[in-house]
Amino acid sequence: MLGTIKKTGEILQLFDRESPEWGVSEVADILGYAKSSTHDLMSSLAEIGLLQQTEKGRYRLGWKLVDLGQALVATTELRAVARPVLEELVAEYRESTQLALMDAGMVLYLDRISGTRPIRVVMTDMGPRVHPHCTALGKILLSAQPWSQIEEIVTRNELIRMTENSITDLEQLKIEVARVREEGFAYDQEEMMSDLCCVAAPVRDYTSRVVAAISMSVPAYRFQRSRNELRRAALDAAGQISRRLGYYR
Amino acid sequence: MLGTIKKTGEILQLFDRESPEWGVSEVADILGYAKSSTHDLMSSLAEIGLLQQTEKGRYRLGWKLVDLGQALVATTELRAVARPVLEELVAEYRESTQLALMDAGMVLYLDRISGTRPIRVVMTDMGPRVHPHCTALGKILLSAQPWSQIEEIVTRNELIRMTENSITDLEQLKIEVARVREEGFAYDQEEMMSDLCCVAAPVRDYTSRVVAAISMSVPAYRFQRSRNELRRAALDAAGQISRRLGYYR
DNA sequence: AAACTTTGTCCGATAATATCGAACATCACA
DNA sequence: TGTGATGTTCGATATTATCGGACAAAGTTT
């Protein structure tokens, strides 16, 4: 770790919403460096745009930070970020794994990896879009939206009955969405297709917004005894992806 | 200028929308530094969050940039940024100067500084909001919006005739807005109040969006002979403010 | 108005440290 | 299985970041 960079980090760390402006002397005082070195550091940072100087000679964060931040956000591709995490998940549990987001009121699959067990869930025979109300992914993605929007989506599509377990009642959905919001994960217990169960967990970006969800799909007979472990794994993987998208805490 | 910081700037500069990912060797090659030093630099930058490492060991921009950028945007106050520039403008030309933005279809004054000439425009007797179609500020702020929105605003408020010079015809306004967009400034030649003329120029933020406008108000008899100079001054001052809001080029 | 802080900036000597090349471990591709 | 990339580690050298002191310019206090 280069000392100059370490100090750069310490200096930048000082600037936040509460104290967006710092003088050289203040910074030197707080960090315990010589005033002159601190000046060298800060004026250099200003030259490369990471800081800027006010007309009174004090320093603020520089606009290059916004530029670079935007470049980062623009080039962060969800699928590319999620892929290695999903692969790890499949390697460990050998169950089929999905990445999806909400698009135009439907669950849109971005990526799917098949499990490696002899009896496994193969998703390829269903289209790229499914109804949200009867999938674990969909419940996660729905629960990230205000109820008014959920209502709109769901009344537009109707709460189609796919199996005898499907949620077809608006009140029932409201309760389930509240539960998902509360607990942070969702199950699909043979609600879209009999013998098919899923666990899903939310993927968040650097603004804490739920931008996607991942899920593991498991044959029902295997699901009952392993769902706690699979839930933990899904939540953990979703957390990893979120962190790579800039989400923290 | 500290060498390590200079190099930091060069490294960060490499990351953009076209090439968001760089390896140590590539960077060392392009910048002409030793591979080992480049590694020290980049791994240190990753430690303080300005870069992050992909699972393949290459580097991308770090999420701390987004954090810091957001902190900067959140703490940049238009009025505070504009004030010293406006003061300078008044000191040089001794004419009254205003800062305003568009709010709910009306021109909202954020700041006003009176000129220092014996005969000057005093804005205090007019309210904080005026109609956009008959002021220089308003024309600038209108012209930053698509025509459909302009139409909506203007039909909601009616094109009220304030003086005999006021624009009261929609077609006439369309032509004037097009001219303002083209030339980048706006005049008010006794369109709101007889004997009162103004020049206005747009203030842009780091996204190039017009977020506000500034203007100078001058008694009509003085305006005719000095408007070219005043226009240049207003454009220059608006440019200064824009740059302090992160706008460049 | 004058004296006194406190600010950011500049300078030169010294000691700390960023730099370099070489060697290493890992991975991708042939 | 080899070959050529990659990112990383190490130790010696020389560059260079650091420090204290001096400076001018504002801002406060007397």
Give me the residue from A2, A20, A68 closest to B15, CB to CB. Answer: A68
When pLDDT is cut at 50, 70 and 90, the band that residue A117 belongs to is confident
- CB-based contact, B246 to chain A, within 8 Å: yes
Using a CB-CB cut-off of 8 Å, the residues of chain B touching A83 are none
Across all residues in chain B, what is the average pLDDT?
A: 88
Q: Is residue A38 domain-resident?
A: yes
**pLDDT, tens digit (0-9, with 9 covering 90-100), for B232-245:** 999 999 998 998 88
Asked whether strand C has any atom less than 7 Å from the CB of A127, the reply is: no
When pLDDT is cut at 50, 70 and 90, the band that residue A72 belongs to is confident
Domain boundary among A46, A72, A98: A72
- Pair (A98, A38) in one structural domain: no
pLDDT at residue B140 in the model: 96
Sign of the four-CA dihedral A218, A220, A226, A227: positive
Q: Is residue A32 domain-resident?
A: yes
**pLDDT, tens digit (0-9, with 9 covering 90-100), for A80-102:** 888 889 988 988 898 999 998 88
Higher pLDDT, B12 or B126: B12
Average pLDDT over residues B35-44: 90
Average pLDDT over residues B218-226: 90
Single-letter amino acid, residue B186? A
- Pair (A138, A237) in one structural domain: yes
pLDDT at residue B125 in the model: 47
CATH of the domain at A55: 1.10.10.10
**pLDDT, tens digit (0-9, with 9 covering 90-100), for B104-155:** 788 888 888 888 776 666 665 455 678 999 999 999 999 998 888 898 888 8
| Sheet containing A106-113: order of strands | A129-130, A106-113, A96-103, A210-219, A196-204, A186-189
Cα dihedral B160, B162, B164, B167 in deg (nearest 10): -40
When pLDDT is cut at 50, 70 and 90, the band that residue A125 belongs to is very low
**pLDDT, tens digit (0-9, with 9 covering 90-100), for B45-68:** 998 989 998 878 899 998 889 888
Domain boundary among B51, B72, B93: B72
Within residues 111-170 of protein chain B, the ones with CB less than 7 A from nucleic strand C are none
Within residues 31-90 of protein chain A, the ones with CB less than 7 A from nucleic strand C are 35-36, 39, 42-43, 53, 57-58
To test the contact with chain A by mutation, choose from B66, B76, B81, B241 the residue with the greatest count of A C-beta atoms within 10 A, namely B66
Indicate yes or no: CB of B72 within 8 angstroms of CB of A55: no
- Pair (A220, A137) in one structural domain: yes
The burial of B36, by beta-carbon neighbours within 10 Å (0-12 exposed, 13-18 middle, 19 or more buried), is given as: exposed
Nucleotide minimizing C1' to CA distance for residue A35: D19
Sign of the four-CA dihedral B99, B101, B103, B106: positive
Q: Which of residues 200-219 of A touch B (CB under 8 A)?
A: 206
Higher pLDDT, A28 or A73: A28
- Pair (B13, B87) in one structural domain: no
pLDDT at residue A201 in the model: 97
Indicate yes or no: CB of B4 within 8 angstroms of CB of A5: yes
Buried b (16+ CB within 10 A) or exposed e, B124-147: eeeeeebbbbbbbbbbbbbbbbee
Asked whether strand C has any atom less than 7 Å from the CB of A151, the reply is: no
Nucleotide minimizing C1' to CA distance for residue B40: C18
Q: Is residue B249 domain-resident?
A: no
Q: Is residue B112 domain-resident?
A: yes
User: Please, are residues B107 and B100 in contact by the beta-carbon 8 Å criterion?
Assistant: yes
- Pair (A23, A60) in one structural domain: yes
Indicate yes or no: CB of B68 within 8 angstroms of CB of A49: no
Domain that holds residue B64: 3-72
Domain boundary among B53, B72, B91: B72
- CB-based contact, B171 to chain A, within 8 Å: no
pLDDT at residue A123 in the model: 61
Q: Is residue A214 domain-resident?
A: yes
Please give the residue of chain B at the shortest CA–CA distance from A206.
Answer: B63
When pLDDT is cut at 50, 70 and 90, the band that residue A200 belongs to is very high
- Pair (A151, A186) in one structural domain: yes
Nucleotide minimizing C1' to CA distance for residue A34: D19
User: Please, are residues B139 and B102 in contact by the beta-carbon 8 Å criterion?
Assistant: no
CA distance B95 to chain A (A): 23
Share of chain A above pLDDT 90, in %: 44
CA of B126 to C1' of D29 (A): 41
B34 to A27, A181, B19, B31: CA distances (angstroms): 32, 51, 21, 9
Indicate yes or no: CB of A6 within 8 angstroms of CB of B48: yes
pLDDT at residue A128 in the model: 60
- Pair (B125, B59) in one structural domain: no
Please give the residue of chain A at the shortest CA–CA distance from B11.
Answer: A48
Kindly state the greatest CA–CA separation across chain A: 74
All residues at 6 or more sequence positions from B187 whose CB lies less than 8 Å from its CB, including other chains: B136, B197, B198, B199, B200, B227, B231
- Pair (B61, B82) in one structural domain: no
Share of chain B above pLDDT 70, in %: 95
- Pair (B68, B84) in one structural domain: no
CA of A234 to C1' of D3 (A): 40
Higher pLDDT, B179 or B76: B179
- Pair (B97, B29) in one structural domain: no
When pLDDT is cut at 50, 70 and 90, the band that residue A79 belongs to is confident
How many structural domains does chain A have? 2
- Pair (B28, B147) in one structural domain: no
To test the contact with chain B by mutation, choose from A48, A55, A207 the residue with the greatest count of B C-beta atoms within 10 A, namely A48
- DSSP letters, A215-249, are EEEEEHHHHHHHHHHHHHHHHHHHHHHHHHTT---
- Pair (B49, B94) in one structural domain: no
Asked whether strand D has any atom less than 7 Å from the CB of B42, the reply is: yes
**pLDDT, tens digit (0-9, with 9 covering 90-100), for B147-197:** 888 988 888 888 989 999 999 999 999 999 999 999 999 999 999 988 899
When pLDDT is cut at 50, 70 and 90, the band that residue B83 belongs to is confident
CATH of the domain at A118: 3.30.450.40
Q: Is residue A249 domain-resident?
A: no
pLDDT at residue B77 in the model: 81
